[in-house]
Structure 1
Amino acid sequence: MAANTGPKQGSFKAIRSRRGQFALAAAVVASALIFLADALSPIDGAVAVLYTGVVLTLAPLGRRFVIGSGCVTAVLTTIAFLIGHADDPLGGAHLRYAVSLVAIAITVLLSLRDRSARTTLAEQARILELSHDTVVVRDRSDIIRYWNEGAERLYGWTRGEALGRRCSDLLEPIVSAEEVNASLEQNGTWSGEIIRTRRDGTRLILASRWLERRDPDGRPVGIIETSADLTESRRALAERRSSEQRYSTIFNSAGFAALECDLSKAMRLILDSKAPDQDCKSWLLSNPQISRAAANEIGIYNANSAALAMFEADTVADLADSNVMLGQLPDSEPALAHIFALLAAGSSLAEIETRCATLHGRIIDAVLRVSVLPDGQDWSRVLLMAFDVTERNEARAKIEQTSVELAHSGRVALLGQLAGSIVHEVNQPLAAIINYGKSGKRWLTRPDPNLTEVSDCLDKIVSNGNRAAEVVGRVRALAKKTAPQVSSVDMGALVQDAVSLLARETRAAAATIRVEEANIGGPIVCDRVQVQQVIVNLLMNALHATRGIADRPHEIRVKIDGTAENFIKVAVEDSGTGIEGNPERIFEPFFTTKSDGMGLGLSICRTIIEGQGGRVSASNNDGWGATVGFTLPLNIPAEARWSKPNILI
């Protein structure tokens, strides 16, 4: 557009320059002719009045030309008067001379005034062109007489296309004609909203103001109107209202507690009380009274029905007065410190599980999720969502208790399968004790007692007694019904104990069990009894898998590998028949490959291992048999374990 405008402006300037030169030349010629006529004419001074035409001719060229032409023509009038009437007595010639000067002066003043008025009108017209609003001037017949650039941009019609057309035909307005006409007739103005159509058919909503134009006699001759486009603002307002309505609907119909809060006072209290270099969370934990005081500053200005029901309140005002969401329970103070510290650090989201008290004093477990809304400044608009997890936690506790009982039942059932081995393992040291006791008695009843042999027999009795006690201790450990208790465990020793416990079953299956250890390092933290239960179960399954195998040795290898980063792996590899289908299915509840099995053993194993942060796995070997094993983390603290319920089924 700039490239097209430049030549037009240059051409216009050139034309105006040529016109100015022509006007100036005409004024000079006219001035010379008038001067000659005035000086030589017998009409005493009457010709000088024609100088006003020279002033008017040069008036369009500017203020300087008007004043200059007035001065020059006044001088020429004076010279002509002096030439013809210098010695004349005061009379009619002098009067005509004075009238000519007055006429020239009046013409100059009127030209200057007209020039000023024209300049003002030109500036006003330029302002109208620069306006972003539309400016349209119409006559009484609704014919468009003026159409500014704002109208071109908004309506899509150029000035040349709009001028001379009826405005109602061009823009198809939708407005109450009766209301407009009544306002114009009564007040001469009308303002309101009007709907018009763009060139492309788009409907526009406009804020329009109309002013009635009148002639000098007061008769209406047309309308001047200005209009501003409200379409986008109305659309944005409608979308905002729709968004607010959707938010309100979701907020009120949500199945969880939702509250709109103002945390600005609470956060200011914390930030004003804390030293700049202090860690906010540790400082709040060491000063719980600050957290409680900040909680009392939380303002609640809206809550949905689920929140009222959860906290046993009748109205939002009840919640605002009691402020039970962040509670006054001592065990809620760490939750307060966690939330306030995250918000103080600039986070817009904080979530934690804690305990709250309802208005009736009932203690509930709740997950609190705090979100700072983007249109809230300095934590003034915060959405607090609360999820009542009391029933979930109670169910989890019951499931954990059931899991413990089921694991205990599994161990007792396993001991039933190992009853023969237990009896054999206990009978062997008992029989040895009896034999060594008899032998020692014989050595004492000899005429010459051999005390050395007696001492040796007593040592054997003590050794076999300890052996029997170890067997009984292992059985008691498996049969003991206790909650999971983590401790430092030597995995190699734990596997050896399990192998010893299954010695008789191993001999009955004509199998050999080899334990291979690689880079175990130090002990790990786990529940000794439950992990031993898993190892015994895996070994029992491996021995069962080798039954009926006649073409190869019944070999079982237990590999303990500590090379994996932060994990220790225990794998039981057998030379049996392998696992049909997907090997991972053996960990599903009630899945069994045994005709007399219930399919719970490996499911219990999976729950035990996953409850301690580990994983179970199963796969078929390349040759024959299968490998079933598990991994446990080495360095996870004990309090981090059992993070989820031990769901066995």
Structure 2
Amino acid sequence: MTRSRQHSNADLGGGRPTSTDRLFIYYAVADQLSREPRMKSQLRVIGALALSLAVFMIDAFTTVNGAIAVVYIVAIFLVAPLGLRAIIAAAIVAIAFTLLAFGLQHGEQLNSSALIRLVVCIVAISLTTVLILRDRATRTSLVEQARILELSHDTVIIRDKDDVIVYWNDGAEKLYGWMRSEAVGKHCESLLKCRFSSEEVQAAFDLEGHWTGQLIRTRRDGASLTLASRWLQRKDDGGRPVGVIESSADVTAQLQHDEARRASEQRYRTIFETAGFATWESNWLDTKRVLDQYTGDISQFEDWLLANPQVTQAAIRGAIIRNANPAAVRLFQAGSNEKLSGTNLCGRYLPESFPAIAQLLATLRKGEMGAENEVRLKSLAGEVVDVVLRVNILPDSRDWAHVLVMAFDVTERNLSRARIEQTSAELAHAARVSLLGQLSASIAHEVNQPLTAILNYARSGERWLLREEPDLTEVSSSLQRIVTNGNRAAEVIKRVKALAKKTVTPAASFSLPEIVEDALGLVRHEAKLQGVKLKQSSEGTLPLAFGDRVQVQQVLVNLIVNGLHAMRDVTDRKRELRILLGVAPAGMLRVEVRDVGMGFAQEAIGKVFDPFFTTKAEGMGMGLSICRSIIETQGGHIIVRNNEGPGATVTFTVPATPENT
């Protein structure tokens, strides 16, 4: 250490030093002595030995009367700063010299006076040694305490009765920015610009002699600090105040953190209470205990829950609601938060929601901090509600003691979706009927041909029977042709009925080439009238498609009819419409309908699927829009592009049948 810590009694506030003052005086002395050179220590030992020998010589070989041996105490004081061993050694030497001198001086001529002086000297030396050792122990303890104060990160400042700084520790230097040499002797309030209630401090001093509280001070760089401070009033032996010793800790950052936390908690509370969606905080400790009973493969956990619905029920029963916001109270039609707090939702979830809940619990059990799924629950009033349930385990709650649950009411959304799907189905049916109307001539031709053939073959068979010798072979041949043409007419009617029916067909596997053939059968006469050649090709063997067969066929017929219409005005090239089937990525099948018509204007490419957009004077603009809706509902997509040559190509995809279906 390079700076002196010595302070006079006057520096510490006048009067006799208190125990606190002595602590710092002892620390300064010990610190000073600890830096004494080795030579000084040796001189102390030599001086003590010389003094002891001189006293011994005088005591042993002179006739000086009195307890001269008491002077050995001076030698003990000389070596006292050198440590415990030096003190004890000096005391032993002093007592030994005293006894030896007594023996040499008096021999066998003992008298009571000499013996009393001997005892007095030995007792004096012993008592002095004990007092020095006790003082040293006290001083050592005080020095250690002083070192602790010096090493403390808290600030320690001693002020006199005039508020002048007389001690300033390292913690004060680091916190306030002034060195000890700059601070000592300065007026504390002027230096640190203290802000506190002096009346409160004085009242505490008068009542208890100390004060604890917060105050604001200013650093050297001008920054304000908030301190948690403890002040002890220093008094002299007469009980008169002589100053203050204080210890302070910087709590500025802590207060800022606490304020930020309070603000955050207030924001959270405001959001929680005013959110337009249901939110509640739950204790899921028991839920986690229930789920932790499973010790098998975590990848099979969801299947285990599905196979054991009683476990799912127990897990739901263990989720206890702590607090719910007003939106949750409204969702459950509870009337008040108290009716939800402390309860669980067992019995609120409908059985059909258990698979969704099992999936949600399995996600959390695998270590995810959040999970979401749609479930159906029943309010306290018995009303069924569809909700999207979002469960979040709070970051500081690995034991699931604090779980935040959010529920978004999607009942109206689901009802609206159902209405839209119903409307879409009805619109698609209307479009199919309209499409059949456009193909009525072609359909009539397709039906009329086999009916005409049936009539001709029936008349022919009748003639063969009316002969004198009926030709039964020819009659049988005519009947077979009648059956064939009847089946042909029935197949045409079957296709028309399939497109015209209004019922929703469940998704199932079907053959794409077959529905292409059926679609071409409906438009073949129309194509023949317009001089269009129809071609169908496939890129190898295709897997079965999966979806609504009728609606996919409707899309095909619509696109084929659009292609035929697009080639009405083509006169400079062969009219041809090609349908190409193939495999697309991601488990999809691809269908391309390509014509050689006029194509689309560039600005119309992005609008062809918009409702009511049409490039035909007689069109309504709903055909392609309905096609897109159908294909996207099936899980595919549809696009249109102009060919590099004449015409355009419409491509759509439908899912292939999964391998495990």
CA distance, structure 2, for counterparts of residue 93 and residue 321 of structure 1: 93
* Correspondences of 1:201-240 after superposition (within 5 Å): 201-240=222-261
How far the C-alpha of 1:175 sits from its partner, in A, is: 1.4
User: Are positions 1:630 and 2:652 aligned together?
Assistant: yes
Partner of 1:136: helix, strand, or coil?
strand
Higher mean C-alpha displacement, 259-268 vs 491-500:
259-268
CA distance, structure 2, for counterparts of residue 636 and residue 625 of structure 1: 35
* Correspondences of 1:16-415 after superposition (within 5 Å): 16-36=37-57, 43-45=64-66, 48-77=69-98, 90=111, 100-272=121-293, 279-320=300-341, 323-324=344-345, 327-376=348-397, 378-415=399-436
Higher mean C-alpha displacement, 275-284 vs 461-470:
275-284
User: Are positions 1:497 and 2:495 aligned together?
Assistant: no
CA distance, structure 2, for counterparts of residue 475 and residue 217 of structure 1: 120
How far the C-alpha of 1:232 sits from its partner, in A, is: 2.8
Partner residue, 2:460: 439
* Correspondences of 1:633-644 after superposition (within 5 Å): 633-636=655-658
Q: Is the 8 A contact 2:584 2:653 kept in 1?
A: no
User: Are positions 1:467 and 2:488 aligned together?
Assistant: yes
CA distance, structure 1, for counterparts of residue 648 and residue 60 of structure 2: 137
How far the C-alpha of 1:100 sits from its partner, in A, is: 4.8
* Correspondences of 1:489-528 after superposition (within 5 Å): 489-528=510-549
User: Are positions 1:558 and 2:576 aligned together?
Assistant: no
Distance 1:580 1:267, change over 3 A: same
How far the C-alpha of 1:176 sits from its partner, in A, is: 1.0
Partner residue, 1:585: 607
How far the C-alpha of 1:119 sits from its partner, in A, is: 1.6
How far the C-alpha of 1:354 sits from its partner, in A, is: 1.9
Aligned residue type for 2:522:
L
CA distance, structure 2, for counterparts of residue 46 and residue 267 of structure 1: 87
Distance 1:501 1:638, change over 3 A: farther
How far the C-alpha of 1:114 sits from its partner, in A, is: 2.6
Partner residue, 2:594: 573
Higher mean C-alpha displacement, 616-625 vs 323-332:
323-332
CA distance, structure 1, for counterparts of residue 328 and residue 129 of structure 2: 85
Aligned residue type for 1:513:
L
Which residues of structure 1 form unaligned runs of 5+? 2-8, 640-649
Partner of 1:562: helix, strand, or coil?
strand
Aligned-residue RMSD, C-alpha? 2.9
CA distance, structure 2, for counterparts of residue 83 and residue 258 of structure 1: 102
Q: 2:623 aligns with which of 590, 594, 601?
A: 601
Q: Is the 8 A contact 2:357 2:375 kept in 1?
A: no
How far the C-alpha of 1:46 sits from its partner, in A, is: 6.4
Partner residue, 1:478: 499
Which residues of structure 2 form unaligned runs of 5+? 2-29
How far the C-alpha of 1:403 sits from its partner, in A, is: 0.6
CA distance, structure 2, for counterparts of residue 48 and residue 360 of structure 1: 105
Aligned residue type for 1:499:
L
Q: 1:15 aligns with which of 20, 24, 36?
A: 36
- Cα deviations by residue, 1:223-260 (Å, 9 ceiling, x for unpaired): 22222333333222222211111111111111111111
How far the C-alpha of 1:312 sits from its partner, in A, is: 1.4
Distance 1:138 1:399, change over 3 A: same
CA distance, structure 2, for counterparts of residue 451 and residue 466 of structure 1: 22
Aligned residue type for 2:636:
G
Aligned residue type for 2:260:
E
Higher mean C-alpha displacement, 253-262 vs 544-553:
544-553
Higher mean C-alpha displacement, 283-292 vs 604-613:
283-292
Partner residue, 1:643: none
Q: Is the 8 A contact 1:559 1:572 kept in 2?
A: yes
CA distance, structure 2, for counterparts of residue 564 and residue 109 of structure 1: 99
Distance 1:225 1:252, change over 3 A: same
Partner residue, 2:21: none
- Cα deviations by residue, 1:38-84 (Å, 9 ceiling, x for unpaired): 56666435655443332222221122222322333444455556666
How far the C-alpha of 1:20 sits from its partner, in A, is: 0.7
Q: Is the 8 A contact 2:349 2:375 kept in 1?
A: no
Identity fraction in percent: 48
Q: Is the 8 A contact 1:339 1:351 kept in 2?
A: yes
Higher mean C-alpha displacement, 351-360 vs 249-258:
351-360
CA distance, structure 1, for counterparts of residue 203 and residue 31 of structure 2: 48
Distance 1:101 1:355, change over 3 A: closer
CA distance, structure 2, for counterparts of residue 612 and residue 130 of structure 1: 76
How far the C-alpha of 1:151 sits from its partner, in A, is: 2.8
CA distance, structure 1, for counterparts of residue 35 and residue 158 of structure 2: 31
Distance 1:627 1:420, change over 3 A: same
For normalisation by structure 2, the TM-score amounts to 0.88
For normalisation by structure 1, the TM-score amounts to 0.89
CA distance, structure 2, for counterparts of residue 544 and residue 535 of structure 1: 14
Distance 1:328 1:50, change over 3 A: closer
Higher mean C-alpha displacement, 156-165 vs 173-182:
156-165
How far the C-alpha of 1:391 sits from its partner, in A, is: 1.1
Distance 1:11 1:169, change over 3 A: closer
Partner residue, 1:453: 474
Distance 1:638 1:475, change over 3 A: farther
CA distance, structure 1, for counterparts of residue 128 and residue 179 of structure 2: 40
Q: Is the 8 A contact 2:324 2:341 kept in 1?
A: no
CA distance, structure 2, for counterparts of residue 275 and residue 24 of structure 1: 78
Q: Is the 8 A contact 1:285 1:337 kept in 2?
A: yes
Q: Is the 8 A contact 2:596 2:647 kept in 1?
A: yes
CA distance, structure 1, for counterparts of residue 349 and residue 383 of structure 2: 13
- Cα deviations by residue, 1:73-124 (Å, 9 ceiling, x for unpaired): 4444555566666587748766666655554444433332332222222122
Q: Is the 8 A contact 1:311 1:324 kept in 2?
A: no
Partner residue, 1:617: 639
Q: Is the 8 A contact 1:369 1:384 kept in 2?
A: yes
Partner of 1:15: helix, strand, or coil?
coil
Distance 1:394 1:38, change over 3 A: same
How far the C-alpha of 1:487 sits from its partner, in A, is: 2.5
CA distance, structure 1, for counterparts of residue 452 and residue 387 of structure 2: 61
Partner of 2:239: helix, strand, or coil?
coil
CA distance, structure 1, for counterparts of residue 625 and residue 109 of structure 2: 142
Higher mean C-alpha displacement, 605-614 vs 511-520:
511-520
How far the C-alpha of 1:303 sits from its partner, in A, is: 1.2
Q: Is the 8 A contact 2:313 2:346 kept in 1?
A: no
Aligned residue type for 2:453:
A
CA distance, structure 2, for counterparts of residue 544 and residue 363 of structure 1: 51
Aligned residue type for 2:206:
E
Q: Is the 8 A contact 1:175 1:194 kept in 2?
A: yes
Partner of 2:391: helix, strand, or coil?
strand
CA distance, structure 2, for counterparts of residue 266 and residue 97 of structure 1: 87
Aligned residue type for 2:544:
P
Distance 1:542 1:195, change over 3 A: same
